[in-house]
Amino acid sequence: MAVRSTRLKKLMAALAAATLVGSMAACGGSSDESSDGTVTLEFAQWWGAELPAGDFDEIINDFTTANPNIKIKLLSAPYASTKQQLVTGAASKTLPDVVGLDGAWVNDFAKQGAIADMSALMTEAGYDQSQLASQIQLDGKTYMVPVVNFVYPLFVNKDLLTKAGVAAVPTTRTEFSDAAKKITATGSDVKGWALPLDTAVPNGIQNDVMSWLWASGGSMLADGKPNLTSPEVKATVEYVKSLNDAGVIAPGALTMKEQDKVEKFTNGQVGMMIDSLAHINLIKEGKPDLNFEVAALPAVDGYSGKRGIPYASWGIGISDSTEHKAEAFKFVSYLMDQKTNANLATIANGFPGNKNAKPDFSNSDPLFEKAFEIYQAGTPANEFVGLPKSEELMRSFDEQLQLVLTGKTTVDEALAKSQASWSEVIK
C-alpha cells in the first residue's frame, strides 16, 4: 500500500474519531426534536467505518425517506474510538440515542442503567421477536440485538491435507488430532494448528479454546454461574493440552495474536485454524492461489447435535436516557427487517441477525455461501457475550491455561483456580 494512501486512511480515521468525540461531548447523547415534530436520533457505531463508502448511508437514507419525521445523525468512528466514547458515555449516562454494541460491553452498560430494556420496547411496539436469531439478555431482559454476525468456522488448507495423506476435512476431535499430526509430519516448518494465547488480547480463549466446548453443545456456565470444573470443560482443556503435547501447535502460541495466526495460515505454515469469516478476502488478497475451505468445528466423537459456532456481532442497543425510545426502536426494527438486514449482512460479508434473511452471495466468494450453510445448520455460540468483565475472564483463564501447557500446573488445579477467579466476577 502506498505511503500516501496509508497516511490518508489514518487521517480519515483520526478525523472520524474526533468527530465522534466532539459530537458526543457537544450533544451529551440526547436526541433533538424540531418545532415541526421531527426527531433527530444520534447513532454511534463503528460499522460505517468498516463498510464500503456510501453503502451504509444508503441504508440510512432509505429509512429516513420512509420515515420523514425521523432523522438519523450518524456518529461513525473506528471500533477502538467508539468503544472509548461509549464507555465514557455509559458511565455518565450521556449515550447517543442508538448505539452499536459489542456483546462484551452489555453487562456493564446494563448494570449502569445506561442502556434500555428492549424487551419492554418490543412488547410495546408489538414486535415479532421470533424473527430474531438471538438476543443478548440480562436477568431475562434484552439489552442488545445482534444485527450482523461474523462467525468463526474451521479453515483448512486442502493442499496440506492432501500432502499429509488426509482424505477428508476432520469432523471430530479424533480426526482433527490425526490430521494435525500428519500435517506436522510433512515438514519441519509446518504445523497442524495455530493457537493464539497472547494475554494482552486474550480472545483466543473465546475463539480458539472454548469453541471446542461449544461445538459439542457444552457450556462453561451453569445457571449463569461459572462451571469450569465440569467434565466437559476439563475434557476440552485436556484435548488442547494433548495437541500441545503432540507438538502440532505452531510455535510462539503463548504470545501469538489473531493476526499472527492468520498470517501463518496464509503463508502455508499451519494447516488448520479457527478464524473469522471476515478474513477470507484478506487471505485471498495475501495469497490468491491458496487452496483452502471452511468447515464446521470438529465435535466430540459421537456427538450428533447442532454444532455451536463462535461468533462476534455488530449489536445494537438504545440509550436509557433518550426521550424518544419509540422512534429509536422503530429504527432498530428497520435494521432488523428481513430485506434491510439481508442487505446490510451482504455488504458487511456477515450473516443476518434476522433468521429469515439471506445474504446475496452472487458477487461473493463461494466460501461465504458454504459458511452460511454451516451457520444455518448449527447455532451461534459465545457465552462470553453478556458476561461482566469478559476480557478479564478470558485473561485469567488464559494465564492458567498457559501454566498447563508449560507443565507448571495440572488441568484440575488450573480449572479450580479459574473457577475461583471467575466466581469473584460473576456473582
Tell me the pLDDT tens digit for each residue of 90-112.
999 999 999 999 988 999 999 99
Confidence class for position 49, pLDDT limits 50, 70, 90: confident
Q: What is the pLDDT of residues 233-280, one digit of tens each?
A: 999 999 999 999 999 999 999 999 998 999 999 999 999 999 988 788
Banded model confidence at residue 78, pLDDT cuts 50, 70, 90:
confident
CB contact set of 219 (below 8 Å; sequence gap of 6+)? 213, 227, 232, 383
Q: What distance lies between CA 88 and its chain's CA centroid? A: 22
Ramachandran region, residue 267 (left: φ > 0; alpha: ψ -120 to 50; beta: rest): alpha
Q: Are 256 and 250 in contact (CB under 8 A)?
A: yes
Residue 179 near residue 163 (C-beta atoms within 8 A): no
* Residue 331, amino acid: F
For residue 245 the three cell numbers come to 503435547
- Average pLDDT value over all residues in the chain: 90
Strand, helix or coil for residue 140:
coil
The pLDDT confidence band at residue 225, using thresholds 50, 70 and 90, is very high
Determine the Cα angle at 167 with ends 163 and 173, to 5°: 105
Lookup result for grid cell 424473527: 131
Question: Distances from the Cα of 83 to the Cαs of 27, 95, 188, 301, 319, in angstroms?
Answer: 18, 12, 42, 40, 15
**DSSP-assigned letter for residue 354:** B
The pTM of this model reads: 0.79
User: Around Cβ 205, how many Cβ atoms within 10 Å?
Assistant: 24
For the chain, where do the domains classified as CATH 3.40.190.10 start and end? 3-150+312-376, 154-309+387-425
Grid look-up 462467525 returns 151
Mean predicted confidence (pLDDT) in 373-398 = 91
184-193, 220-229, 358-367: range with lowest mean pLDDT: 358-367
The yes-or-no verdict on residue 201 having pLDDT over 90 is no
CATH architecture of 154-309+387-425: 3-Layer(aba) Sandwich (3.40)
Neighbours of 246 (CB within 10 A): 14
Percent of residues in the chain assigned helix, strand, coil, to nearest 5: 50, 20, 35
Q: What's the confidence (pLDDT) of residue 6?
A: 37
Q: Quote the CA–CA distance of 39 and 42 in Å, as a whole number.
A: 10
When pLDDT is cut at 50, 70 and 90, the band that residue 328 belongs to is: very high
Given pLDDT bands bounded at 50, 70 and 90, which one contains residue 415?
very high
The confidence score (pLDDT) of residue 72 equals 97
Predicted pLDDT of residue 24: 52
pLDDT in tens, 105-140: 999 999 999 999 999 999 999 999 999 988 999 889
Q: Identify the sign of the CA torsion 49, 348, 6, 102.
A: positive
Q: End-to-end alpha-carbon separation of the chain, Å? A: 49
Say what the pLDDT of residue 3 is.
33
| pLDDT top residue among 232 and 188 | 232
pLDDT for 297 beyond 70: yes
Query: In degrees, to the nearest 5, what angle opens at C-alpha 30 toward C-alphas 26 and 35?
Result: 100
Distance between CA atoms of 228 and 236, rounded to whole angstroms? 10
CA distance 203 to 334: 31
Rounded average pLDDT over 334-358: 94
Residue 159 confidence (pLDDT): 97
Rounded to 10 degrees, the C-alpha dihedral 89/91/93/97 comes to 40
* DSSP string covering 58-89: HHHHHHHHH-TTEEEEEEE--HHHHHHHHHHH
Residue 143 binned pLDDT confidence (cut-offs 50, 70, 90) = very high
| Fold that domain 3-150+312-376 belongs to in CATH | D-Maltodextrin-Binding Protein; domain 2 (3.40.190)
> What pLDDT score was predicted for residue 31?
57
Q: Which residue has the higher pLDDT, 3 or 174?
A: 174
Report phi then psi at 331, rounded to 5. Answer: -70, -40
pLDDT at 168 over 50: yes
Q: What is the mean pLDDT of residues 67-75?
A: 97
How large is the average pLDDT for residues 191-196?
A: 98
